[in-house]
Amino acid sequence: MDEADYLPSTMADLFAQRTESPVCIHVCVNQPEEYWLSHPDICESNRRTLEWLRRLEASGRRLDIIDRSSPGHGWKGKQQGVGMARKTLFEAILETASDDDLIVSLDADTHVGPDYLQSLTEEFRAHPEALAMAVPYYHPLSDDPACEKANRAILRYEIYMRCYHLNLLRIGSPYAFTALGSAIAFPCRSYRRIGGMLPAQSGEDFYLMQKFSKSGPILQYSKHCVYPSARLSTRVGFGTGPALIKGCQGNWSSYPVYPPALFDEVRQAYDALPRLYRHDLDLPFLGFLAGLFKDSDLWQPLRDNYKDLPHFVRAFHEKADALRILQFLKQSLRADSKKDTSKDLAAPSDARALDENLRLFARHYAERLPEQMRPSLVSSFAPASLEEAPTALLAQIRDQLFQMEMTARKEASL
């Protein structure tokens, strides 16, 4: 939607792929039907996109064009948005694809290197048990001085995401993944196995990856990254685009840097599962789950239904899933903030949490970094707020977290 100025560059990357497998590109140009009255500029952009795609198709390119934007073809009612577009694409692919065919989800303003598709093929071939891959990502910065604010916003957003991901990897969570719709790949058999996806208007990628994680292993590592656009966008309710808009306005309340101690409380519950299998325990994460589900006897039915520890553990993780972990972190952070009497909580707390994360990661991940990065390792954060930090420092921290994450992703996929 509204990608006429960006799609040709992405398609050029796909046409340049060096892969042993045949590639078919499926594109869903979409918008709500009501946009013909309310958003004529987006409708015009989509019209130009369709015209360009049809010229490509006529030239012999292997394309499947799904038109959900022309008059009479747009989404109607609540069934609309990026989740509906992805679901429509995936199900169209399944009509002709075999179980072993690989679906690679991209956004229309995303860049990939020429060996990207081949690297995914090789990873799934090496790990046939894997249901999906959460592909590594890296948002390029703009060289335009006018984009300084947007650059800082995407760096801040990536720091949030990478601290979150590294902590989940550190505690051994089965939900240690980053869900970006432009960075997901899976065999068709996996999508059939989980019964498809829900067409959420935002967050569809998160719920899809959570569904894969509940059914089997997901891969974390590929030698080649996805390079998503760092555009400010209102086309979805939440995600990268809206996060950057809020961030440019100084509002990071939805994307805080969480203190590592909160993840340690989740791990405390993980470590206690053999004891929880025998009797109830008083632990922060377990108490949160009991309150969330409004059930003071949450675990006895699992003990009754699952007669050995491995099945009980799996049932626990079904309840304590990625969404519940995120809700626990948010609620715990709010509770901690209420104890803090300072007037401006957000900026100082993010700076403190980043400092705690960097100190922890320096101990936990530093030896795994490439040797050339170790001399420049940032192991603490001195500024009073992230807003006071120079852009160069934020970029250095982002790149360091990226390297740590790539190492941890590779280890998690072995």
Q: What CATH number does residue 95 fall under?
A: 3.90.550.10
pLDDT recorded at residue 238: 46
Per-residue pLDDT at 291 exceeds 60: yes
pLDDT recorded at residue 357: 97
72 and 192 share one domain: yes
Q: With CA atoms as reference, report the closest residue to 213 among 238, 181, 188, 178.
A: 178
335 and 205 share one domain: no
Chain mean position to CA 154: 14
Domain extent, residue 187, equals 7-137+178-224
CB 53 within 8 A of CB 69: no
User: Model-level pTM greater than 0.85?
Assistant: yes
pLDDT recorded at residue 320: 97
Confidence of residue 376 (pLDDT cuts 50, 70, 90): confident
φ, ψ at 219 (rounded to 5°): -85, 155
Number of domains within the chain: 2
Per-residue pLDDT at 233 exceeds 60: no
Domain annotation covers residue 370 = no
57 and 188 share one domain: yes
Q: What is the pLDDT of residues 173-222, one digit of tens each?
A: 999 999 899 999 999 999 999 999 988 767 889 999 999 999 999 999 99
Backbone φ/ψ region at 209: left (φ over 0), alpha (ψ -120 to 50), beta: alpha
Confidence of residue 2 (pLDDT cuts 50, 70, 90): very high
Domain annotation covers residue 148 = no
pLDDT recorded at residue 229: 86
Per-residue b or e along 308-326, where b marks 16 or more CB atoms closer than 10 Å to that residue's CB: eeeebbebbbeebbbebbe
φ, ψ at 103 (rounded to 5°): -95, 125
pLDDT recorded at residue 331: 95
216 and 313 share one domain: no
Confidence of residue 272 (pLDDT cuts 50, 70, 90): very high
Domain annotation covers residue 206 = yes
The length of the chain is: 414
pLDDT recorded at residue 296: 87
Calculate mean pLDDT across residues 55-75.
95
pLDDT recorded at residue 74: 96
183 and 54 share one domain: yes
The 8-class DSSP code of residue 109 comes to T
Domain annotation covers residue 101 = yes
Per-residue pLDDT at 244 exceeds 70: no
Per-residue pLDDT at 130 exceeds 50: yes
24 and 113 share one domain: yes
pLDDT recorded at residue 77: 86
CB 342 within 8 A of CB 348: yes
Per-residue pLDDT at 399 exceeds 90: yes
Distance, CA of 91 to CA of 148 (rounded, Å): 40
CB 180 within 8 A of CB 96: no
211 and 269 share one domain: no
Per-residue pLDDT at 250 exceeds 70: no
CB 110 within 8 A of CB 228: yes
Q: What is the mean pLDDT of the chain?
A: 91
Q: Which sign, positive or negative, has the C-alpha torsion 196, 200, 206, 211?
A: negative
313 and 188 share one domain: no
Domain annotation covers residue 371 = no
183 and 323 share one domain: no
φ, ψ at 299 (rounded to 5°): -100, -20
Distance, CA of 102 to CA of 275 (rounded, Å): 41
Calculate mean pLDDT across residues 59-81.
93
Domain annotation covers residue 367 = no
φ, ψ at 183 (rounded to 5°): -140, 50
197 and 96 share one domain: yes
Beta-bridged to residue 314, according to DSSP, are none
Domain annotation covers residue 259 = no
313 and 183 share one domain: no
Confidence of residue 375 (pLDDT cuts 50, 70, 90): confident
Domain annotation covers residue 11 = yes
Q: Worst-scoring range by mean pLDDT, 51-65, 201-215, 262-276?
A: 201-215
Q: Which residue has the higher pLDDT, 365 or 115?
A: 115
Of the residues 302, 322, 339, the one at which a domain ends: 339
pLDDT recorded at residue 251: 66
Confidence of residue 285 (pLDDT cuts 50, 70, 90): very high
206 and 305 share one domain: no
